[in-house]
Amino acid sequence: MTRSLLVFSIALLLSAAAFAQNKSVYTTLVAEKCKTLTVDDGMPGNYSGKCPGAGGYKLEVYLDDERNSVGVVFPSKKVVGLDLWNYFSNFSEIGDTAEWRMKGKRPVALIVRLKVSDRGDEKTPSSYLIVAKITGTNACVTDIVKPGKGQNARARSLADRASTKPCKTPDGE
């Protein structure tokens, strides 16, 4: 094996080991356990709340016209909305739990479940996992994991590589 190939192989192994070191921390997104920020009584289905987070971060949960989204609240109080409603036009519901992928005590990615009524209102919603990277100053969606076998493991794997990926746009790029 050539020296450069050996160095590359070692670097690849170390890189994989670094991703494998990420751990999960789970926090709630259940409205009753979050602090209500706003409710529009005149417009049913409009709500925002602040939920606990990890590593000094929190999450805001938004419900507008029966579509859900989340915003990442940085320790600096800056809020970056992930605008999940821009990826799906149908009614949606956020899952009860957020999974933070942690590198030490710092969140590097977030996974949330979004149940989307994309198969007709009378059918069971499709349950997607949304993966977002978190950097020192920004957060954005990098992947949307479709329902299926191994969905959780796939989302974790994508989350652990999210820092190297570009932000996803609603049109799929």
Q: What is the pLDDT of residues 77-127, one digit of tens each?
A: 999 999 998 998 888 899 999 999 999 999 999 999 999 987 666 678 899
Domain layout of the chain by residue ranges = 22-164
Q: What is the pLDDT of residues 6-15, one digit of tens each?
A: 444 454 444 4
Cα of 127 vs its chain's centroid, Å: 13
Tell me which residue has tokens 């746009």. Answer: 169
Write down the pTM of the prediction: 0.84
Q: What is the pLDDT of residues 17-42, one digit of tens each?
A: 444 589 999 999 998 899 988 776 65
Contact at 8 Å (CB) between 55 and 100? yes
pLDDT at 169 over 80: yes
Q: What is the pLDDT of residues 154-163, one digit of tens each?
A: 999 999 999 9
